[in-house]
Structure 1
Amino acid sequence: MANTQSNHSKGLLLTGLGGLALTVDIPLIKLADGNHWSILMMRSGVTFVAAIIIWLVWRSFSRNAPQLVPGRAGLVVAGLYGLGSIAFITAVYNTSTANLVFILAFNTVFAAVLSWLFLRERPRPATMLAMLAMVCGVLIIVSSSIGTGHLFGDLMAVCSAFCIASAITISRSSDKDMGFTALVGVLLPGLVAAVMVAKTGFHVEAPWWIIFNGAVIMPISFFCLANGPKYISGPEVAMFYLLETVLAPIWVWMIFAEVPTRNSLIGGAILIVTLVAHSAWQLSEGRRRKASLARQPA
């Protein structure tokens, strides 16, 4: 029991650190000021090189360094993170930051549904109600984009959320260390972006922001969030993406004065309140179950 609690705490710490690091990703992309293929190529390339260097150093000091891509499950997870990165960068340039991060919080719903379908982790009635409320919130956000030119970006955000949730679910079912797999997965979008840059040209005004993002922020966030499913459930991992949902629009508002639309704020508020309330309920239920078990005679 003590070991289980320790692993759960470790999972919460890992995913919390990863989620916090991820909150500065979008501001750094915007500060770099470039076209999205150039940004994607540079961000992916720097992240991949940083991951390989970290892995080689780790392996030189310890034989217990995790595999870069552990088997077929690792290949699928790497591909999903790669596709998610392409959809994410595309969304950054085709919708508002608030819309993007609010919709990305929807990966909690995707993770819960996928865990139910493939891992037989049936959600409780309260979780299903929370999922329904979140669907309503996302529909409100997306409806405000119809006719404004942001609908494509919103749909790309949905695709990114689905890819992330799928990767989390497969990582949890495989019970393998996927920390470096998420980082290696950026090779796919990097190659796609390189082909596009060869056709359209390279343009990044302030590349040092992307270098910092790819060399420091991405390795920390991807490694921690990809390792989380080893210790905690998929929906729990997905909930730590809520940190980006709350903080990224604040950073962008402070730096770029980008103000969210009314519908975006209404839908985002529904998502955040639902997630916070559901998380509080889960915590309360967990404590109640532990207290009940402690009172049972040995």
Structure 2
Amino acid sequence: MTGVKEAQTTKRSDYAVGVIFLIVSALAFSSTGVFSKGVEATAWEVIFWRAVFASLSTTAFVASRSALRSEFLEMGRAGLVVGVIGAAGTAALIPAFKLTDIANVALIYAAAPFIAALLAWRVIGEKVSKRTALGAAAALAGVLIIVAGSIGSVHLLGDGLALIMTTVMASIMVLYRANPHTPSSGPSVLQSLFLIPLALLFGHPLQTAPIEIAILAAFGVFHAIASVTLAEGAKRVPAGQTALLGALETPLAPILAFLILAEIPAFATIFGGAIVLIAVLASLKPTESG
């Protein structure tokens, strides 16, 4: 009986750690729109410099832990798949922010809990609790409120790229849930390495202004933190809840835009963001962590 209680305590503790990782990931990812729109560099130039600095900072972190072999040489097939589709997601995400409103990207990303839950159910047979399903629906309602005032400015190509990014992120969450022993840092670096030559081919990153390179260096570090914490969190939290926690980016992104770019959020953004936050917090319950 004692052993069972210890196992339950460990499971809940592991779940709590996963939630913390995912909140940190959402905080870091919420800066993507600000970084992307805060520079004049083209999408491919942003992708190049973010990839360079993200891969360097992640590799330095792995080296400091003496884990280069386990992270890079033993990532396995799942790690390679994460690297490939993650690169596709990044290649879609940055242009999406350049081609459509940040709020529109957030709206589309709010579908991630539904996509992740469906994929997890079909691929690994993971059930979705009523709490998570209701939380996902409430979060989507909150995001709908946020973007209600910008429906007329939707750009089809940017929204389409955002949908690709959302599907990719949901797939990565399920992959890590299905393969929890897959390294988190190695596949993140692999994503960047795939994108660097493509960015050199399609863009002109070496002509980027030095001040913008410095800004994009910070972007790369934030991306490295976001990717690693997302992977670590996704190993510990059900896929539907992992994606639902990602919805925290929705209210956080306008706040950062206000603080950094002096963009004043509309009342709908504040009201809808509050609904998203409440939905995410209400959906979390350790007893449903399995």
- TM range, normalised to the smaller chain? 0.7 to 0.9
What TM-score, normalized to structure 2? 0.81
Cα pair distance change 1:191/1:69, threshold 3 Å: farther
Q: Deviations over 1:180-207 (max 9, x none)?
A: 1123212222222111025x97334622
Cα pair distance change 1:68/1:134, threshold 3 Å: farther
Cα pair distance change 1:33/1:11, threshold 3 Å: same
Question: Does residue 43 of structure 2 align to residue 41 of structure 1?
Answer: no
Q: Which letter does structure 2 place at the counterpart of 1:12?
A: V
Describe the SS at the equivalent of 1:240: helix
Distance in 1 between the 2:139 and 2:275 partners?
10
Cα pair distance change 1:132/1:15, threshold 3 Å: closer
Question: Does residue 13 of structure 2 align to residue 6 of structure 1?
Answer: yes
Q: Deviations over 1:120-167 (max 9, x none)?
A: 112245544555666677788889877746221112111111101101
2:237 to 229, 232, 238: 232
Cα pair distance change 1:183/1:145, threshold 3 Å: farther
Gaps of 5+ in 1: 290-298
Cα pair distance change 1:166/1:212, threshold 3 Å: same
Corresponding residue number in structure 2 for 1:55 = 62
C-alpha RMSD of the superposition: 3.2
Residues 1-298 of structure 1: pairs in structure 2 closer than 5 A: 1-59=8-66, 66-67=71-72, 70-125=75-130, 127-128=132-133, 148=153, 150-180=155-185, 181-197=187-203, 202-204=207-209, 206-214=212-220, 216-258=221-263, 265=269, 269=272, 273=275, 276-277=278-279, 279-283=281-285, 286=287
Cα pair distance change 1:136/1:63, threshold 3 Å: closer
Q: Is the 8 A contact 1:90 1:153 kept in 2?
A: yes
Cα pair distance change 1:282/1:241, threshold 3 Å: closer
Shift, 1:47, TM fit: 1.0
Shift, 1:92, TM fit: 1.0
Distance in 2 between the 1:135 and 1:48 partners?
33
Distance in 2 between the 1:136 and 1:15 partners?
21
Q: Deviations over 1:46-71 (max 9, x none)?
A: 11122223223322xx6885446611
What TM-score, normalized to structure 1? 0.79
Distance in 1 between the 2:232 and 2:32 partners?
19
Shift, 1:87, TM fit: 0.9
Cα pair distance change 1:63/1:94, threshold 3 Å: closer
- Mean CA deviation greater in 34-43 or 137-146: 137-146
Describe the SS at the equivalent of 1:77: helix
- Mean CA deviation greater in 39-48 or 22-31: 22-31
Corresponding residue number in structure 1 for 2:3 = none
Q: Identity, % of aligned pairs?
A: 26
Cα pair distance change 1:54/1:187, threshold 3 Å: same
- Mean CA deviation greater in 201-210 or 97-106: 201-210
Q: Deviations over 1:254-298 (max 9, x none)?
A: 433446789x859x92x8636733651553x939x9xxxxxxxxx
